[in-house]
Structure 1
């Protein structure tokens, strides 16, 4: 690399496509918001974290760990065994990552090239698009239909150069889902050398009976891959640990692009412990369903557009300026996520849900 004293790096160094991207800018901390607003209570409902924390067993397990000077187990052997048993898959069908953000990076780095393209929804998790741009591939975005993936339109967008089709299921930010019948029909039409990735980050919150049995689908369709995480229902977002499930050959290929020691010892212990507390996960899901009903009742009463959600969040489309809605809530202690066409808010406690709903009602009544 050549350096110029007066300019630092040469202006033509690096990937030109990065000029179209901006680094991820995290939201303000709770303390920053308190200082800015003068409020003593701030509720962050912008990141779809579990508002009820995580299993109490996690703290107990972590307190017994003391091998701070040692690298973590790069293969995550104990966690691998527990997840494999939990899902009923082989251990070599699993790959672990520092959250699903890193998994998306691993997959994109490993499978995408300038000769390929990717297909995804136009309103979905933005990291699919972000990493496609980094790898300088063509992005084919298909608009949602009534908040749902348009699988027919996505199938038409696939050609011999399509490397990956991304399906966020349930979809973030809309909370909608692709059912078993729709997905099977789609997989039958997709070329066998195109990878269909099912991002099931919110799987544990799903309650519908026709949601795809994705683990079974992996056995039938070798070109399918499932992503799951411990960040959401398990409440381990700060530990950054997620995983992929797929056929053994694909997992070995993806593992080449994984950094050594990419998941910490703490994350591995927390995840394998959280996996044993199914009561906590079920309770989180049950409370989430009750919270969603609070929002459904409000939206129905005030004729606010929304999509029924299978995640721990809801996407609503108030007939108001979205920036005004965000600021109105923000300066009253509630942080939500504004997105294209609507706002997404995490489902929280009854008290927090009512707090948001009361403020939204005030806005609507003021008109």
Structure 2
């Protein structure tokens, strides 16, 4: 089965990760040490004070802590629809009321929320599932238009794949705002999804509120060692970003030529709407050994290797051929 539904990076970890994990084996009977070494490396990379960084078991843990810290029965969460599947799940788990508006991005969102008791505004950036990216300045403008007590979650799980424009607001500047929390992950371009490691960057008061709720030892020694090794090899990430862009463009072009509506993407996936007249595309592709993610009226398709892109296109062609044969048979 070809996994093109979970937005995993199609390659394994950078080469240095294996050595880092092997070196750790003699110490696996010990509880994890604090993640301070990794937090220090992240703080240095983004030129932020150490008290603005929190490492978690994937960015999902940091996002979950944010839901617990900043929402509640009388403090709603807001996000667009469709959005990252974790957001509505956390609302149910935390007993949090949820306000939504249809995607795409609404430039007057702050005004829309002015009279609502909203504790958290969650914004995936690039957006999941469409892949659309917003400049960080737009995130800052949104946060400034909201009360300081309303936290903007700037979820940058896929930011490593995006083409960043010159003059992009740095994370350090964004973290100076009192109500912006940015989350990042090692699960995507770093290829460490199985180890569950990510982090948040934000104002020290926000990070302190999250740290107070975090379970001890939630982050493993292996995950920290792997993340440090991956950070030490930035050239690998540059190559992976370029390769993903190339394969993304190839897949977008191939699907567009076959009648799919393809949304522009800055991530490692595409949001596509299949040709009209057939609603079973996800099941049809699954029957051919390709798993994609249904999302609203479309499909979210991970950009894989060159071989996986070719295999997906071949499966699409097979479905189209079957549809044409059925249509001719019924005429």
TM-score by length of structure 2 reads: 0.91
| Match among 45, 66, 71 for residue 31 of structure 2 | 71
How far does residue 361 in structure 1 lie from its aligned partner after superposition?
3.0
* Pairing of 1:229-240 with structure 2 (within 5 A): 229-240=185-196
Q: Could you tell me which residue of structure 2 aligns to residue 94 of structure 1?
A: 53
How far does residue 220 in structure 1 lie from its aligned partner after superposition?
4.3
Work out whether residues 180 and 210 of structure 1, in 8 Å CA contact, stay in contact via their aligned partners in 2: no
Work out whether residues 322 and 338 of structure 1, in 8 Å CA contact, stay in contact via their aligned partners in 2: no
How far does residue 157 in structure 1 lie from its aligned partner after superposition?
3.0
| Match among 102, 108, 132 for residue 91 of structure 2 | 132
Q: Could you tell me which residue of structure 1 aligns to residue 327 of structure 2?
A: none
Q: Could you tell me which residue of structure 2 aligns to residue 56 of structure 1?
A: 15
Q: Could you tell me which residue of structure 2 aligns to residue 161 of structure 1?
A: 117
Structure 1: distance between partners of 2:221 and 2:100: 38
How far does residue 126 in structure 1 lie from its aligned partner after superposition?
1.8
Work out whether residues 314 and 344 of structure 1, in 8 Å CA contact, stay in contact via their aligned partners in 2: yes
Structure 2: distance between partners of 1:321 and 1:331: 19
Relative to structure 1, is the Cα distance of residues 210 and 310 closer, same or farther in structure 2, using a 3 angstrom cutoff?
farther
Q: Could you tell me which residue of structure 2 aligns to residue 277 of structure 1?
A: 233
How far does residue 212 in structure 1 lie from its aligned partner after superposition?
4.9
Q: Could you tell me which residue of structure 2 aligns to residue 121 of structure 1?
A: 80
The answer for unaligned runs of 5 or more in structure 2 is: 325-331
Structure 2: distance between partners of 1:90 and 1:100: 19
1:46 matches 2:46: no
Structure 2: distance between partners of 1:186 and 1:329: 40
* Pairing of 1:119-198 with structure 2 (within 5 A): 119-145=78-104, 149-153=105-109, 155-159=111-115, 161-198=117-154
Structure 2: distance between partners of 1:116 and 1:285: 38
How far does residue 153 in structure 1 lie from its aligned partner after superposition?
4.1
1:254 matches 2:214: no
Partner SS, residue 300 of structure 1: helix
How far does residue 89 in structure 1 lie from its aligned partner after superposition?
1.1
How far does residue 296 in structure 1 lie from its aligned partner after superposition?
2.1
Structure 1: distance between partners of 2:189 and 2:115: 36
Structure 2: distance between partners of 1:196 and 1:287: 31
Partner SS, residue 63 of structure 2: helix
Q: Could you tell me which residue of structure 1 aligns to residue 328 of structure 2?
A: none
Partner SS, residue 47 of structure 1: coil
Work out whether residues 175 and 181 of structure 2, in 8 Å CA contact, stay in contact via their aligned partners in 1: no
Q: Could you tell me which residue of structure 2 aligns to residue 348 of structure 1?
A: 304
Structure 1: distance between partners of 2:147 and 2:19: 48
Partner SS, residue 280 of structure 2: helix
Work out whether residues 165 and 196 of structure 1, in 8 Å CA contact, stay in contact via their aligned partners in 2: yes
Structure 1: distance between partners of 2:77 and 2:229: 36
Work out whether residues 120 and 166 of structure 1, in 8 Å CA contact, stay in contact via their aligned partners in 2: yes
How far does residue 307 in structure 1 lie from its aligned partner after superposition?
0.9
Work out whether residues 214 and 226 of structure 1, in 8 Å CA contact, stay in contact via their aligned partners in 2: no
TM-score by length of structure 1 reads: 0.83
Structure 2: distance between partners of 1:78 and 1:222: 25
Structure 2: distance between partners of 1:101 and 1:175: 18
Structure 2: distance between partners of 1:247 and 1:322: 48
Relative to structure 1, is the Cα distance of residues 358 and 81 closer, same or farther in structure 2, using a 3 angstrom cutoff?
same
How far does residue 158 in structure 1 lie from its aligned partner after superposition?
4.2
| Match among 290, 304, 310 for residue 266 of structure 2 | 310
| Cα RMSD for the two superposed structures | 1.9
Work out whether residues 53 and 235 of structure 1, in 8 Å CA contact, stay in contact via their aligned partners in 2: yes
How far does residue 106 in structure 1 lie from its aligned partner after superposition?
1.2
